[in-house]
Each structure stands twice: as C-alpha cells, then as structure tokens.
Structure 1
Amino acid sequence: MFLYVCVSVVHGLKNEPYAKYVWNSRLLERIKDTVHPDWLMYIIHGFCGQSKLLIYGRPVYVTLIARRSSRFAGTRFLKRGSNCEGDVANEVETEQIIHDASVMSFTAGSYSSYVQVRGSVPLYWSQDISTMMPKPPIRLDQADPYAHVAALHFDQMLQRFGSPIIILNLVKKREKRKHEKILSEELYRAIINLNQFLSPEHCIDYIAWDMARYTKSKLCNVLDRLGMIAENVVKRTGFYINRSDFHCHTLRPDERWGDLGGLVVAHGRLQTGVLRTNCVDCLDRTNTAQFMVGKCALAYQLYALGMIDKPKLQFDTDCVRLFEELYEDHGDTLSLQYGGSQLVHRVKTYRKIAPWTQHSKDIMQTLSRYYSNAFSDADRQDAINLFLQVYQPSESKPHLWELPTDFYLHQSNTMALPQERRSYTYWWSDGVLSYLPLPYDEVPCEKNKKKVLVKRVNRYEESTDMYTEFFKPYELTSFDDTFCIAMTNSAREFMPKSVGLDPSPFTVRKPEETGKSVLGNKSNKEEAVLQRKTAASAPPPPSEEQISSSSEDDSEEDREDDATASQRSTPIKIGESGDNVRTQEVGTYPHLPLCNNVCFVMLCLVRFAHLGQNQHKVERKDQSTDLQKTLENVISLVPVSSFDGDSIYEMLPPRVDLESRNLFENHIHAGQGLIRPLCREDLLLYREYLKNRYM
C-alpha cells in the first residue's frame, strides 16, 4: 500500500510513517520539532525476512514484512480483545513484496505488494488468569449491544485499506462446553448490526470456519478449503503492482485474471480492501491461513510480472517451500513476541505430513508457552508499557510494579465523558464512504482536503537518501554483494542437487528429489552412485585377512583421505575383458551367482586397494574358485602414466622456460620491495585503469 500525493513543483517529499505501527513515536515527540527530520529513526516491531527466488537465473526477491501495532500492545493473556478506542491486541499488518531484481531501480523496476492483517476479536473480552490452568475461561467484560468498539475498529480499517473488509474467523463453533463459541456468536451479531447501515457493495464480509474441527476430520483437507477461501479473497481485494499488463497476458490469457478485483489505474493495479484473519490467539491457525492466502496472492503476483503462465502454484515446489519457510519464520517470531513460544502447529501439521518427531516438539512448545504465560508475561508487559510511554514515571505516581492492573493505562478514555456521542448508525468517519473502495488515507491530495502528513523539501534543505548512501547505485556493483543479510536462495537451499532435473522453481518434486531428503528415501540410481563412491573410497589393506579382521566402525571420510593419492596416480577402468572397456555398476553382473555378489564386491575392493601400492601389474596368486577366475576378466589395468618409471619415486622434474622463470623472479622481488622500472606497456595499462576507474 503506497501513498500517492499530487503536488506542483517540489524537489522532494518526506512523508511521516503511520503512527500506529511506530513503537518509539512518543519517545520522539520531545525532539521532533527541534532536530532535523533526517536524525529521527522510526522503529517498527515485528518481523522482516527476505529470500531470493531464481527463475532460470532471473533473480526475484520475496520480502515479508510484519508490523505490530503499538496500541493496546502486550502479551497473550494480559491483552485480549479491544480497548475503548477500537485498537485490538496482537494486531499485525503483514505485507509481501515481490521485486524483479533483474532491474535495480525503484522507478524502472517491477514490483508488487499484497497486504493482510491479523488481530484479536474486536470485542470487550478477557481471560481470567488468576487460576493456573491451560485454557482460562473467556468472559465478556462489558455489554456492547450496538457494537460500538467493533465500529471504531472497522472504521480504522476502512480508512486505511478501503473496501471490502473480509473477516476470516477461525474460532471454534461446536464445543461441549462454551469457550471460544462465545466470541463467534458475539462477533457475528456485531457485524450484522454494522452491515445494516452500509451499502451492499461495501458491506463487511464475514467468513466463519471451524478450522480446528476440520483438522481432526479424516475426510476434509484443511488446506484445500483454505485455498478456495484464499482464491475468493484475492480475487476481491486484488493486489498492488506498478506495471500494466504485459504482452504475455494477451498471448497466454487466463480466465481468473479477468475476474481480479482491486482498482486498475494507468500504471498498474491497486489493492482495495484487506483480509482480516483471527482465531483466539491469532498464532497457529491464523499463520497457516495467512500462508495460504499469501501463496495464492504470490501466484497472481508472479503471473502479473510475467514469470509464470497461469496464476497457480503447486505444493512441493522450490518456490512454495521457500515461501513456506518465510511464513514459518514469520509465525515463530510473532508467536514468541506475543505468546512466549514458537508455533505449535505448522503448515506441515495441517498437511498431515509432519514427521513423528514433530509431536514431541509441539509438546515442548506448549509447555514453554504455558510457562511464559504464567511466570514471565507480567514483567514483559511492564517493559512494554514503559517503552511505549503508556506509563510515565513520576514522583507523585506509584511505581509500575505496584499497580494492581494496567487497565486504565490502556483505557484512558473510559473515565472521561465524551463531548459528542458517536452515532450508532453512522459509525464511520466523515468522508470515508465517498471514496470507497479506495482507502481514505491514500486519496490524492487534489480531491481530498484532509490533513496529509507530507512535508515539502526545497532544494536548499538537507535531505539524506539512505538507499543511495548505503547501496551506492552509481558504482558498478551487484545487489548480492552489497546486501547485508544472507538471504535464502531457492537454487542453493531448495533445488535438488541431482544433475539433469528441471531447474524451474515451479516444478513439483518428490520428497526424495529435494536437497533435504532422507538417505533411506533415495532412488535406485542414487544408491548405485553411492555404492560406486563407497567402492572408490575403500581403504588400502594389503590382504584379505586384514579386511576380514578390520573394524566396521571406521568412518568413510578417513578411508577417503588414505586412498586419495593412489587413486589420482593410476586410474582404472572396469570392463569385461581386453580392450573392450565398458563401465558397469558394482554388483550388477548377471553371469555371477546372486549369493556371491557380496564376496564379489569385497574382492573388487581388494583389487582397488592394490592400486595404493602404485602397481601396474596385479599380483596373481593361486586362484581356485570360479569367482576369482571371473574377477580376472572383470578388472583390467591400463597404464596411463607418461613417465618412464611408473612410480612416485621415479619422476622427471618439471621444465620451466626462461620467460616464466623471469616472471616468477620479478614477483618475488616485488614482494621484497625490489620493484623494477615499469615498461611503456605497463604505464599505458595503468593510465587506462585510472581513467576508467576514477575519471
């Protein structure tokens, strides 16, 4: 979501950030009017992650930014629901940005953005934590028959995101004892009450789906259902892109592209409206639902940038695995900040492909979350209140730890009588509905007389461009060299290491094809390669008796180090006989008995071991068995050395010509400080270098 401002002739724009997501705004108030704006550093709290997606060598950067709200902020059980101003607990705005990094420019480059929101149920509710229990009872603190607090919250959302506002409620609906169902029933009544005063095209959409109940069912695929919801949501809200449709969209049209919502402008598209996802804690179920919506939006974004043929992405592809890892890091970070532990249920849990070791980790995360909520959340809440200046120390006030509750710190307007009572029917702010579906905060200045937080900067005022100062785009550099964070790379971390596979990140791969596959799941071809490597790295024992008596616990790495020099000196070829050399895999000889394959492999290892002694002739002993006679025809040694004596002790010294010797001597003298005078060619070369580098 971007701010569009129509101005006349100015030399720069400096817009202030959205104060709701700035955590040090009150700390900067005292110095804001006395220092230059370039010295102000605005801090956001949340998550920032970035990965690199390689599409046939074309770099595409996937960035995920989560901004936590600084209003009514706190920990899990201590901050629930909403305050009297419509600010909810654990409100996070998540934005995914796709940037075509083949063009390093904010003006000429192509990028796309999609925004979604999570937050607690906008009601007056809390949980009693006076008793130590895993699930404290939910209670509604105040009666709100006209949905006043919900109206304040959705009014903020209409101003910031426009319409439609889509609510995805994942709270349970069927319970033996009413617990989460209390919130579902009350939220449904509030939305019904608010929608009756809005026009039908701008009504709040309410989607209630009991995700926990369907997870336990064996007949329902949870992610398929979430995928259908995500498709409907993205089609209605659309997404932002700074480029109009490419020519490839007319060559390869898709029927879903024509139904896409949002606002089409001359330079691209705008997102109008937003999806608001919530469960009780807004942690595990919410993160999985947001991942599915983000995955659907990612497909449309890549299609809009001309990267794929149709706006659809399959699971088990490099692209989706990279995106899933981003969202898991995103969920873990937000869960640690609000709940005190990492995610308990992940995307693989709802896909029902999580390994059995994940269950023990889930139990540990549950215990960690319970311990944090019971013992450390109170101190964390005090620290948050102090940093956000919700509580300001004073000699006349009691200490922060002496307060019985911080309710009145976050509900400051409850004690004051309002001068003008807010209407229960016209619950939105003035001017909001007239610009829908466009958000009120992004209306151009010409058409809107509202106060816009934009400052004009003239040519004489100091202004610092942090992007230019840090990345220095005027120098010939690479973005990978200057970026200060080690990004996840789809080609390095997720693409299979096998040669010959499709390098596209949109190809569905089996679990054994991925780079993180288990050794037991390897294919037969990979097992054969592994056997050949094991045979080639065998230790050099002198006889069969020592092989049989040696320990089986020796590592293969040590054996590889012992046999490295001998294998490099005299390579061998495996064939049937004579000069007709044909490579065969070890253990695949049909003319040998099946029961003797193991013995045959061991004898092959003995033959390889003799190479460590630098012999060009194989020692022949009395061989009585048919298996040993057959082995003589299997392995034939061909001398490939160019020296007279085929031994490491009989080598001719290398011959170096005079020009190379003089060059080496000059290099040694330069290291000792004895530099010879430069010739004319060197001076011309050095002048050309200075001219190209500094002039």
Structure 2
Amino acid sequence: MEIPVISSLQKLILYESKARFYIVGSNVTETRFRVLKIDRTEPRDLVIQDDKVEYDRDEVINVLTTLDHGNRTKIKGTGIRQTLSAYGIFGFVRFLEGYYIVLITKRSCKQLIGPHAIYKIEDTSMVYIPNDTVRYFHPLESRYVKIFQTMDLSNDFYFSYSYDLTRMLQYNMAPSLTPQSLATDDNVSHNQQQDGNTESGNKKQDGSTESGNKKQDGNTESGNKKQDGNTESGNKKQESNTQSHDGKRKSGHTLTGVRSQPSWKFVWNKHLLKSFWNIVHNDWVLFITHGFIGQCKMSVYGKPIYITLIGRRSNQFAGTRFLKRGSNCEGCAANEIETEQIVHDGSRTFLDRGCITSFTQLRGSVPLSWSQDVVKMVPKPAILLDKKDPYADIAGLHFNQILKRYGAPIIVLNLVKRREKKPHESILKEELMETIKYLNQFLPPQHVIQYIGFDMAHVSKRKTADVLVRLEKIAKYCLKQTGFYLQLPSNHQGSIQNDKMLKGINGTWSKNGCRQNGVVRTNCVDCLDRTNTAQFAVGKCALAYQLYVLGVLEDPELDFDSDCVRMLEMLYEDHGDTVALQYGGSQLVHRIKGYRKIAPWTEHSRDIMQTLSRYYSNAFSDLEKQQSMNLFLGVFTPQEDKQNIWELSTDYYLHNRNCTKLVRNTNKLYSQWWDTCIIQHLPLSCEEEMKTTEELFLMVESTDSDERLNEFAEYYKPWTFTVLEELTCYKHSSSIRNIMPKGARDISPFSVRVISNQTSEATGLNADSRSNNKNPNVSGKDSTTSVGSEGSTSSSEDSDVEGEVCLSETSNSDDSDVDLSYTSFSDLFPSMKQVYRTDITEPTKRNQKLYERYVELGSVNDQLEETKEQTPCSQLLPSIELFPISAYKLDSSFHVEIPPISRHSKDIYHSYIERGKYGAGPPTDKDYAMYQKYVGSKYS
C-alpha cells in the first residue's frame, strides 16, 4: 500500500500589509508554520515567495513582526493586520486587471476513506491582491468577475489533504516503482505480450487454463513483480514502503511518504493553480474535484461496513446538456464521469490493516462528432452528425485514453433506442457500432472493445418485463470480464484464491487480492436517467461480490427489497440527481423505481415537472452557465486585443483547437490508433504500470513520529476535545437509523422487507424526496415514459440485447404498452394491515365484558348526577371477575408493602452472612449424605 503524505497546512491566516500579503499556514496541531509572501505592487504579474523555513509556535509572532520591517507605520503596531482565515487556497485568477486569490473559508467533513477525511467546500472568498494605489481599472473587469462568480464553488466541490480524489483507489494503493525495476519488468512483460495472440494468450482471455499469461494470474514465480512489490532490485525506499505495508513500524525506522501526481483530467482548479503550484511548497496546493461523493454506513450485527460512491466529473469538454454533445477533436467526451464504488470494513481504521474493495465504471456521451440543433427549442431536437470520420480518429483518441487509464477489456453498454419510426437515437447506435467494429480490426483479439446494445426504453414499455432483471444479467457478465479491486490484510492473504464463487471472475489475482482490468462504459443520449439506472444495476452486482469477499455474505447475491440494496439505490439516485443538475439543469426524470414498476402514481406528475424544469434550464440559463464554466476552466482567457466571451457566436473553436489542422497526426499509422506502451501492458492499466518514483509529486523520508506520516494523530486528533455527536462517522446515514423500518425484529440489512407506503416515505437518506410506494400508476402506464417520446417499431422476436456478446434470452413478453387490467380500489388505497401492520378483529369475550362494565358504570354515574341521590353499590351486579394486575396489592406512590419471604430464602441469606463473618462452617447432614453417596457411586 502506498503511504500518502498528510498535508499539514489545514489552517491559513491571511495578513495584509502595504506591499504584500502574508499567508501563514499551520497544521491542525499548530506546531509547524509556513509563510507564503504575495507581492501586491504589481497588478499584472503575480510574484509569490514561499518561505521554506518551518517556524515553531513561539516563533510565529516574531516572524510576523519581522516579515516586512519596512512596512512599519508610525502608529502603534507592525503595519500588518489580519484579513481573514481559511482552510486552503483554491487558486489564483486574473481577468483584465490584477490577480485575485480564491480562499476556502468554510468546509465540512462529509466522508471518510479509512483515516482520510474528505471535505466539501461550503463557502469561498475572493480577495483582490494588488494595492488600490497601483490598481489598473478596466471597465469590463466587473462583468468578468460576475461571470466567474456565477460558478457556484460552494456546491459539489470536494478536496482532501491526504487522499488523492482524482485517482482511483486501485491507483492510490499501488506501490511506486523505481525506473530501474520498471525497465526490468517491462522487458519481461514485453516478451510475454508478444505472444499474446498465441494459444496461451487466448486461454488467458477465457480464464480456463492454469498456464495462462503469468502476468494475468500473478501466482507464479516469475509473475508480475511490480504488483507484489517484492523485487530484489527495488531500492531502500521501496523496501521501507513494503515494511510499512505489513504494519512493521518501529521507532526510528525510515518511512517513505509519497504523494503522486494528480489526474489533471479531474482537477477542476487546474487553471487556477497554473500560476503558482510548481513554484511553491506542495503543502499549499490543493486539488479540487467536482461531481458527487456520498457515503453511508451499513451495520451488520454491529460490524460497520462503509459504502462510498465517488463521481468524478471530467473538466475536459465540460458544459451543459445541449451545448456539449459527443466528443471534441481531442477525444474528450461530454459529461464524462468516473464512478467509483468503495466498500471497506470500518472496524479497522487504516487501509493497510483491513479489507477494502472498489469497483469503477464510466459514463460519457457517445464518442462521436455529433450535436443537436438548438435553434428551435423543442423537447427533442434533431440529432446531427457534424462530420464524417472514416478513420474513427475521434473515437480512437477516446478509447485510447480509456485503455491507458483502465486497461482491457472495454465494455461499451449502449442504451439508446434500436429502431424508431423516425430515426433519432438509432442514428448514434448505427454509427457507434460501425466505429467500434472498425477500431477492433487493429487490436489483439483478446483485448477488443466489446459492444452490448440494450434498448432500455423499449423494454420498459412492456407491462410484465422488468428492466432491472435484464440489466442484472448484463451486469454479472461485465463484472466477470473486468473483475474488481480487492486489498486483503496480511493475515487473510491467500485465502481467497481457491474460492469457488470467484473462479469465473477475471482480473489480476494474487495472494494480496485482485486488480480490476478494464471498465464498463455506459451511455444513452444524455447519460443521465437510463445511464444512472444501468450503473446502479452494475453497482448492485459488484456490491454483492464486494460484501462476499469481506466475509459478510455467504453468497454473492442481494435482493432488491433488502435494506442494503435500498441504501445503494439511494446513493445512486443522489448521484444521478447531482449529475443531472450539473449537466441538464434538473434532477432525474426517470428513476430506478420507475424501471422496477414500483413507482407511485404521483411520480408521473413529478416527472412532468422535472421535464419542464430541464427544458427551461436548457432554453434560458445554459448559455450563461457555459460561459462561466469556460472562464473558470481556462477554456477562454480574457485579453484586451481579443473578443470578449459574450461576443463569441460559438465556443466550438475553444473546445476544438485542433479542428482547423489540415495535416493529420503523422506520428501514428492509420491502423495504430493506440499508444505503443498501452499494448505492452494490456490487460493491465498503463498508468498504474508506469507509476514510478520520478512521477511523484512529493516524497518524504522521515520517522514515524513525523506528523505528515502519522495517520493515527491525523484521524483521532488527540489534541482536541471530541464530541461524539459531531463526528463524521456518527452522522453518517446508517442502515439501522435511516433505512430499516421501525419495529423490525430482524436487524440484518440483507433481510427482504415489504415496506408499506407511509413507512417507505419516511425512511431513507432523504426521506422528504423519496418513496418506495408500490402502487401502480393511475394512468396504467409506466411513469418513466417520456412525454412525446417516439415509439419503437421493433418486434418482440428481436433480441433486446445486441452486440458481440450474446446476453439475451428468449422473451415471451408482450410488446404492447397498453394496460389491459383494471385498477381496483384496493390498488390505489392500501389496507390497514399494510399501513399499520394490524387489522380490525373481533374483541375477545373478556374485553367485551370489560367494555360492558365500563358503560354500566358510566350510566349509573349519570343517574347519580341527575337525581343527586345515593345509590347502593349492590345495584351493580358483578359481571366480570376482577383481579389486581400487580402482586403488590397495597402499592402506591407513598407506600409499598414488603412482599413475604419464605423461610428457605431467609436460611440461605443467614448462611451467606455467617460464612462472610466467620468463614465456612461444618457441612450439614444433607451435604454430608450427598458426599457419601458421590464417593460410593464413584469407587464402588
């Protein structure tokens, strides 16, 4: 396991003087201080000086008074005053005047991955750096500032001081190799890959031979030494790192803490860091990601299992729904989001001591050059293929990036409609199939791109068909092809390799666990509603295997109506709502419950409102959001001699800078759309295999007492007063507190429960916006049917799943989407038994007599009040036998009658007191007779 460096500068204080800003950064223990000097005299140029000296607590006041002695004023004081405090630097930005510094002023800890805290940005502050005396005023500066601030930085932006959010867990846990060991291993792997087309290479793809590719199996003596991290040629840094993985940390031992280069594709403040990140100490640098991060805790009889869902949104070709479609000239797809599902055992804090698994999948627009005509704003604008691409350059660049990051195989799950009366979505389907078929000609047969087409909208119209059942079969196939990541502690290593349940799962298996090879790429037209449901189905299948390898499940199977799957469903719906708001301007229109045919009839009106909200956002606010995003990401840089961003008729040339080049890239052949280094490492990820110490962002050698490597002190914070209710792990959504219905006797999160309407509406992560109502739609149609959607003309005899891998089964379900069954009164209004779990029954004879007695007493009391006369009690005939409920007949709040004590109990108590005072006495006659009987029966 790689040990990350815990950045110490979690508290920043900004001091202002006449000529400079001084940012004093300290760690949470306030034992180390670092100073950053920012020049205020030059409005155009940003001059930053990083003071490498680390000051102690007692020296920081003296440092502040001596930082700028020339700025002392005649008045009392040093001329330096505190401006504000922050938790990190978001970055620096300049428009037409001087630079601004963007500081993170509010944060909240939302998630925990082992000991690493993930923070969400709640508020930021934008401070102008140059002094007003030298400020250059530009008339358009305020307009650019307003456009920049349209980007809401307090919404869905995350960062961590110690964990790289831009990378997958599999990459972060992979050890870094030296260039010498990498070259040695590459020679071996290159020779093995040259024989990849032989019989043994094909057997490796099928996973049915013991002598498959040694790099794939990872169990032989000459296996991939990079994965195990046990090469003899590794340097001392690597050996010390391996020792730390085994938990053998001894006082005085040298440890190596590393912080790898981030994946700039998911760093959203990359443009804001451009002016200072490579000239200052890396403690000042924070890499901000955008997207979604959700976490919940599942309690399995007291054992905490954390499920974390991370959605990383790419900053390349980013934008809004109708303005960013397809892919640009560099192969970057619109709305590309990497979704990682992490499951780990929370009973062990540190990642190298416990079990942790992850599964990664991808969503993104169809990687072709296409768009939609938005001149006439209609619900479904026509899809246009912008240009012909006979050599599939754009798609080749896109899949080349995927192969480099994830390895092989790539499974493309296409959810667009297959056949329509008027060609609309099917245009993309036909073009994508031809493109993948062309690209596969030049790949090794065992690493080709696999295509699976599933007409999800057509299947959902059938009354009896369940979309999730069909998706579950596809998900199981995809999971077996790619595998999932698994890291086991040293005491569990080797116990998982012989498991029969895991034999059909590919991936790189070793005694340490497993590595995921390849990825599932899901897309529909918008990559929102249908894509989110499909990703949930794949995530559910992966979760079953993840819980199985953690020893929680007996079989890798999960039921849809269990608390565990319901919790995962809410995570994916939150993820889908967040992504839909970022890209489409509204929440999800078609939810998972709709595709399961259990959505309540009220969901239909909600779908209409979300559709109208999305239409309004696309028509009126998307252009402003796109301009703000282009300015924030540095796609457009303001300059005085160029057009302003609001004067541009289109931003096509900003996102496609190479589209005007007439000469094709001659570095590659037409038949080689992939990089050479990628083929040498397939099916493994090239980025992980090329992770060397030369590419590290920071490397630290120190003792285990160094706070930058002391994860224990960072997580538990022994220097602060801890309140249980304020801890992140305590505030997490729990399966028992938020998901399990009240009054449930079985607390297992895997038990199948039938949740009633009112109960389901009150449970969940967001109880006010969710419901598990199982009532049918009043209209008789599925609430997921989009307004004005075109019907499909494909017959029921055709397969709904198409592609190179046959996954469909014979289906006898009717294609008709007309509901021929009648809706009864009981369908719309549930019974009392379903809602309150009780029903009206006939009272017992005893209860009936009690009620009659009560009525008789009341009638007699009324007569006494009317006549004001005494009525003897003999008039009330004893109609029921009355007896006291308590054994203490004279109990009251003032006096309690002492219950009688038997003589035997008194003798036992007296003998106990005597034994305590005088010790054990002689045995009684009864005990003596019992002992004689025992001896006689034993020795007779």
The Cα of 1:5 is off from its aligned counterpart by: 1.0
| 1:15 Cα offset (Å) | 0.6
Paired residue for 1:507, among 751, 755, 763?
A: 751
Contact 1:167 1:206 in 2 (8 A): yes
**Worse-matched range after superposition: 320-329 or 502-511:** 502-511
Partner of 1:428: 674
Indicate conservation of the 8 Å contact 1:152/1:427, yes or no: yes
* Aligned-partner Cα distance in 2 for 1:215–1:289: 13
Residue deviations 1:457-479 (CA, integer Å, cap 9, x gap): 34499984696565236689899
Matches within 5 A, 1:523-672: 523=833, 588-590=843-845, 603=855, 632-633=879-880, 651=894
- TM-score, length-scaled by structure 1: 0.75
Secondary structure (helix, strand or coil) at the match of 1:457 reads strand
Q: How far apart are 1:513 and its partner, in Å?
A: 10
Q: Distance in 1 between matches of 2:317 and 2:858?
A: 74
- Distance change in 2, residues 1:253/1:590 (3 Å): farther
> Is residue 263–residue 271 contact of structure 1 (8 Å, CA) maintained in 2?
yes
Structure 2 residue 153 is the aligned partner of structure 1 residue 4 = no
Superposed displacement of residue 452, structure 1: 3.1
Q: Give the C-alpha shift of residue 510 in structure 1.
A: 1.5
**Offset of residue 316 of structure 1:** 0.6
Per-residue displacement from partner, 1:515-574 (whole Å, max 9, x unpaired)? 53789555499655x99xxxxxxxxxxxxxxxxxxxxxxxxxxxxxxxxxxxxxxxxxxx
Q: Is the contact made by 2:271 and 2:632 (CA closer than 8 Å) also made in structure 1?
A: no
Flag the 1:241–1:381 CA change in 2: closer, same or farther, 3 A: same
Q: Secondary structure at the match of 1:364?
A: helix
Counterpart selection for 1:486 from 731, 737, 748: 731
CA contact (8 A) 1:493 1:515 kept: no
Which residue in 1 is equivalent to 2:463? 218
Match of residue 457 from structure 1: 700
8 A Cα contact 2:359 2:484, kept in partner = yes
Distance in 2 of aligned mates of 1:525 and 1:149: 55
- Give the drift of 1:213: 0.4
Contact 2:494/2:512, CA 8 A, preserved across alignment: no
1:98-117 to structure 2, matched below 5 A, reads 98-117=343-362
1:95-141 deviations in Å (ceiling 9; x for gaps)? 01001011111211211010000000000000010002000000000
State the distance in 2 between where 1:91 and 1:293 align. 17
Post-superposition CA distance 1:395-433 (Å, at most 9, x none): 111111110000011001122445635422111012111
Map 1:160-175 onto structure 2 (within 5 A).
160-175=405-420
Structure with higher helix content: 1
1:47 aligns with 2:292: yes
Which residue in 2 is equivalent to 1:140?
385
1:497: Cα distance to partner? 2.3
Partner residue in 1 for 2:242: none
Following superposition, the deviation at residue 228 of structure 1 comes to: 0.1
Alignment of 1:331-480 (within 5 A): 331-416=576-661, 417=663, 420=666, 422-443=668-689, 452-459=695-702, 464=708, 470-472=714-716
Identity, % of aligned positions:
46
TM-score, reference length from structure 2? 0.56
For 2:562, the aligned partner's letter is T
For the 8 Å contact 2:756–2:834, the answer to whether it is kept is no
- Quick check: 2:420–2:426 contact (8 Å CA) kept in 1? yes
Contact 1:494 / 1:514 at 8 angstroms: preserved in 2? no
Distance change (3 Å), C-alpha of 1:438 and 1:249: closer
Letter in 2 for 1:588: P
Q: Separation in 1 of the partners of 2:477 and 2:345?
A: 26
Report the CA distance shift for 1:465/1:414 in structure 2 as closer, same or farther (over 3 A): farther
Q: What is the CA–CA distance in structure 2 between the aligned matches of 1:479 and 1:175, rounded to whole Å? A: 58
The whole-number CA distance in structure 2 between the counterparts of 1:248 and 1:642 is: 66
Q: Which amino acid aligns with 1:398?
A: Q
After TM superposition, give the deviation of residue 256 of structure 1 in Å.
Answer: 3.9
Q: Which amino acid letter does the alignment assign opposite residue 506 of structure 1? A: F
The residue that corresponds to 2:923 in the other structure is none
- 1:576-622 alpha-carbon deviations (Å, 9 max, x no partner): xxxxxxxxxx95224898xx99x759849979x99xxxxxxxx9889
Q: Which amino acid aligns with 1:52?
A: K
Amino acid at match of 1:633: I
CA distance in structure 1 between the aligned counterparts of 2:742 and 2:664, rounded to whole angstroms:
66
**Counterpart of 1:85 in 2: which secondary structure?**
coil
In 2 relative to 1, CA 142–489 (structure 1 residues): closer, same or farther, beyond 3 Å? same
* Contact 1:38 1:464 (C-alpha < 8 Å) held by counterparts: no
Asked if the contact 1:116–1:275 (Cα under 8 Å) also holds between the matched residues in 2, the reply is yes
Q: Is the 8 A contact 1:495 1:515 kept in 2?
A: no
Report the AA paired with residue 468 of structure 2: L
Is this contact kept in 2: 1:496–1:514, CA < 8 A? no
The amino acid that maps onto 1:257 is: L
With over 3 angstroms needed to count, the CA separation of the structure-2 counterparts of 1:122 and 1:218, relative to structure 1, is same
Q: Which runs of 5+ in 1 are unaligned?
A: 532-585, 611-618, 654-695
Does the Cα contact within 8 Å between 1:173 and 1:181 map onto a contact in 2? yes
- The answer to whether the 8 A contact 1:495-1:505 is kept is yes
Measured in 2, the distance between the counterparts of 1:466 and 1:397 equals: 51
The equivalent position to 1:119 in structure 2, one of 361, 364, 389, is 364
2:575 pairs with 1:330: yes
> Helix, strand or coil for the counterpart of 1:33?
coil
Q: Is the 8 A contact 2:353 2:489 kept in 1?
A: no
Give the number of equivalent residue pairs.
573
Report the secondary structure of 2:381's partner residue.
coil
Q: Is the 8 A contact 1:299 1:311 kept in 2?
A: yes
Are 1:223 and 1:350, in contact at CA under 8 Å, matched by a contact in 2?
A: yes
Shift in alpha-carbon separation, 1:253–1:591, aligned structure 2, 3 A: farther
> What is residue 668 of structure 1 aligned with on the other side?
none
CA distance in 1, matches of 2:726, 2:628: 38
Checking the alignment, whether the CA contact within 8 Å between 1:169 and 1:278 is kept in structure 2 is: yes
What SS does the corresponding residue of 2:308 show, helix, strand or coil? strand
- What code does the residue aligned with 2:687 have? D
Aligned match for 2:324, one of 79, 96, 115? 79
What is the CA deviation profile of residues 54-80 of structure 1, one whole-angstrom value per residue up to 9, with x for unaligned ones? 001100000000000000000000000
Write the letter of the residue equivalent to 1:589: T
RMSD of equivalent CA atoms:
3.6
| Structure 1 residue identity aligned to 2:437 | I
Question: Helix, strand or coil for the counterpart of 2:677?
Answer: coil
* Amino acid corresponding to residue 651 of structure 2 in structure 1: D
Specify whether residues 125 and 239 from structure 1 end up closer, same or farther in structure 2 by C-alpha distance, changes over 3 A only. same
Q: Aligned-pair distance for 1:442?
A: 0.4
**Equivalent of residue 559 in structure 2, options 290, 295, 314:** 314
Residues 285/592 of structure 1: CA separation in 2 closer, same or farther (3 Å cut): same
Gaps spanning 5+ residues in structure 2: where? Answer: 1-169, 179-234, 238-255, 762-772, 774-828, 863-870, 897-940
3-state SS of the aligned residue for 1:413?
coil
Q: CA deviation at 1:455?
A: 3.6
Q: Residues 233 and 275 of structure 1 are in contact (CA less than 8 Å); yes or no, is this contact kept in structure 2?
A: yes
Q: Is the 8 A contact 1:126 1:139 kept in 2?
A: yes
Structure 2 letter corresponding to 1:435: H
**CA–CA distance in 1 between the matches of 2:471 and 2:461?**
15
Assess, with a 3 A threshold, how the Cα gap between structure 1 residues 320 and 398 changes in structure 2: closer, same or farther.
same
Letter in 1 for 2:518: G
TM-aligned CA distance change 1:621 to 1:339, over 3 Å: farther
SS in 2 for 1:405: coil
1:202-244 per-residue CA deviation (whole Å, 9 max, x = no partner) reads 0000001110001001242211100000000001111001117
